[in-house]
Amino acid sequence: MSILVTRPSPAGEQLVSRLRTLGQVAWSFPLIEFSPGRELPLLAGHLAALQEGDMLFALSQHAVEFAHARLQQDGQRWPDAPRYFAIGRTTALALHTESGKDIRYPLDREISEVLLQLPELQTVVGKRALILRGNGGRELLGDTLRERGAEVTFCECYQRCNKYYDGAEEAMRWQSRGVTTLVVTSGEMLQHLWSLIPQWYRENWLLRCRLLVVSERLANLARELGWQDIRIADNADNDALLRALQ
């Protein structure tokens, strides 16, 4: 069994290196890359507007990394006033490391639905919520907080861009290397992978691979695209992916 990991750098390479240490055959094939977001110049102003009891949310490690780099460049610090929230453990750890603040996050799944169940997010009328994220992404968190009476601001801290490859050449390479398992951690990457691979290889190789995804939503999308052998990891971090692959 040969495993193809489509996570972006550096998480993809880190997972591949851990798999190889365990004696598995694994390759890194990042499908997206990151660049600074268009709204980063507004970040310091957004943070300054937050008052005691307001909320700051980080939706990914990348949002934290790009935001922190920008704050350092502007000679600014993470504010003390708001309460800090993260989508999951990995993001919370990154945010705590950079800000030194206490971060609240859901303990089981890294999705907005579970984050929104935290007791502190039930009564938010009149509070400000600043959401640090990438371009696009789901609107569920912002929409729900608005419905609960919060004033929501998004800040695009980074952009995801598809990486382009010669699909036929890549399909030939991975098929000849005996890849039978694919690791895909977002709907965007799944769509990109499906579109990238020409139809003959899609039918004769891609859709016959076992697919490891990180949510029921992704598994449903994969079924619509034609995959049948689908497994769902219990989280989106490398530890959970490693458990599922073993």
Whole-prediction pTM = 0.78
Band (38; pLDDT cuts 50, 70, 90)? very high
| pLDDT digit string, tens, across residues 172-216 | 999 999 999 999 999 999 999 999 999 999 999 999 999 999 999
Torsion of CA 73, 76, 78, 80, to 10 degrees: 180
In this model, does residue 170 exceed pLDDT 90?
A: yes
User: Rounded to whole angstroms, what are the CA distances from 238 to 51, 110, 193, 229, 245?
Assistant: 35, 13, 20, 21, 10
Closest CA to 63 of 78, 75, 52, 48: 78
Across all residues in the chain, what is the average pLDDT?
95
Taking 3-state DSSP, the helix, strand and coil percentages for the chain, each rounded to the nearest 5, stand at 45, 20, 35
Band (90; pLDDT cuts 50, 70, 90)? confident
Band (246; pLDDT cuts 50, 70, 90)? confident
| pLDDT digit string, tens, across residues 117-157 | 999 999 999 999 999 999 977 789 999 999 999 999 999 99
Tokens 């034609």: give the residue.
226
| pLDDT digit string, tens, across residues 52-62 | 999 999 999 99
Which of 214-232 are b and which e, b meaning 16 or more Cβ less than 10 Å from the residue's Cβ? bbeebbebbeebebeeeeb
